[in-house]
Structure 1
Amino acid sequence: MNRLRQVRKQKEITLKEVAEDTGISGDVIGKYEREEREPKKETWIKLADYYCVPVTYLMGLPDGLVQHINKTQVMTFEELHEAIIQWANDRNMIKQDKLTALSQLAKVTEEHGELSAGINKKDEEKIKDSLGDSLVTLIILAQDLNFDLLDCLNKAYNVIKNRKGKVIDGSYIKESDLHE
């Protein structure tokens, strides 16, 4: 069962708005929602992009099939980012309040501790798992704080991209800190 109607209602968007924004007729979208007509692959992608959800979620594919698809097709960072947000929303983990943000910050700290342990023990699998888990917890924390982690990353890169400095004893020191 697809989730077209459910996602549209959650986002409080009318059929008319979807039609105007996507160029797909409201009647056709209604047929998609009632499963009287099946969208083409390009249309699924267009609607998933419009609603900012993974195509597999929008189509209502079972988790086992989604995992199979994910094994056969590598997702982009952006697709993973959206899938993680959707996963957290589905589990009511993102409430955008101080209490849940503090709880999520504790998870970030916990994952960084596991990463430290993996690095200290030179455990490659633990390091990979902890890096991935750290990213997941940061994406959820950013969403809980009403920030887009990709936007935060872009801003950070724009700050460092022209930065000059030196590596001393394995740590990068900004040029401005070298003169102090």
Structure 2
Amino acid sequence: MNKLREARKIKGLTLKEVAEDTGILENLIGKYEREEREPKKETWIKLSDYYCVPVAYLMGLPSGLVEYIDQLGYLNFEKLHEFIIQWAEDRNMIKPDRLTGLAQLAKVTEELGELSAGINKNDEDKVKDSLGDILVTLIILAQDLNLDLLDCLNSAYRVIQNRKGKTINGVFVKESDLHE
């Protein structure tokens, strides 16, 4: 079975639903599934994002090749962290001192405002973009402050991993704050 059709069937979706959700014409999706027409690169990417599967999988590439492509094209957090730092250094953005740290903190705050707007407007694309931008600005801020964001995250997890408490209105409240 064509992987596009298979992905759609697994999700229990109709051609019409996929068309409405993605903005791709229903008859085009049908032609892609019947292999009467080849999607453009942007369409492959849009559909792989929509179905939450790698492009190589949707294209029906052999699993060994899919794994190889994933190793080349999908970056883990540590690798992305490294590339973002290099990107910022190449643009002379990282200058470890208090003043640039304050400037970068302002950028983090700006991105938080955009995230808030995206959530309030129920704009999933804006939320996704804002979360990514926040991570980028935090990585750069940590570098400005001579910290490693991964170390910070690891430290925070060690503090919370055994924390007890209660979720109230969707927010976790640690046990010590419940008794106040």
Total equivalences in the alignment: 112
Question: 2:156 is aligned with what amino acid?
Answer: A
Q: Whole-Å Cα distance in 1 between the matches of residues 118 and 178 of structure 2?
A: 31
In structure 2, the partner of 1:23 is none
- Secondary structure of 1:172's partner? strand
In 2, the alpha carbon distance for the partners of 1:165 and 1:123 equals: 32
- Residue in structure 1 matched with residue 101 of structure 2 by the alignment: 101
CA distance in 1: counterparts of 2:169 and 2:79, whole angstroms: 37
Give the Å deviation of 1:84.
0.2
1:123-134 matches, within 5 Å, as 123-134=123-134
Residues 2-22 of structure 1, C-alpha deviations (whole Å, 9 max, x = no match)? xxxxxxxxxxxxxxxxxxxxx
**Gaps spanning 5+ residues in structure 2: where?**
1-68
User: C-alpha offsets along residues 57-79 of structure 1, whole Å, 9 cap, x if unaligned?
Assistant: xxxxxxxxxxxx89x61001000
Q: Give the letter aligned to residue 82 of structure 1.
A: E
Q: Which residue of structure 1 aligns with residue 10 of structure 2?
A: none
The 2-side partners of 1:114 and 1:175 are apart by 32
Q: Which residue of 2 aligns with 1:164?
A: 164
Cα distance between partner residues in 1 of 2:78 and 2:105: 22
SS state at 2:173 partner: strand
* Matched residue, 2:118: 118
Is 1:92–2:92 an aligned residue pair? yes
Per-residue deviation, 1:166:
0.6
Structure 1 residue ranges without an equivalent (≥5) = 1-68
Alignment-derived partner of residue 78 in structure 2? 78
Over residues 27-60 of structure 1, what are the superposed CA-to-partner deviations in whole Å (9 max), with x where a residue is unaligned?
A: xxxxxxxxxxxxxxxxxxxxxxxxxxxxxxxxxx
Range 97-106 or range 148-157, more displaced: 97-106
Partners of 1:109 and 1:91 in 2: CA distance: 21
The residue type equivalent to 1:152 in the other structure is C
> 1:101 and 1:74 mapped to 2: Cα distance?
30
1:169 to partner: Cα distance: 1.6
CA RMSD, 1 decimal: 1.7
TM-score (norm 1): 0.60
**What's the offset of the Cα at 1:97?**
1.2
For the residue of structure 1 that corresponds to 2:162, the secondary structure is coil
- Distance in 2 separating the partners of 1:168 and 1:95: 41
Quote how far apart the aligned CAs of 1:89 are. 0.3
Partner of 2:151: 151
- The answer for the alignment partner of 1:30 in structure 2 is none
Aligned to 2:39: none
The list of structure 1 runs, each at least 4 consecutive aligned residues, that deviate by more than 4 angstroms after superposition, is none
Structure 2 residue aligned with 1:36? none
Query: In 1, distance between residues paired with 2:75 and 2:105?
Result: 26
Structure-2 residue corresponding to 1:9: none
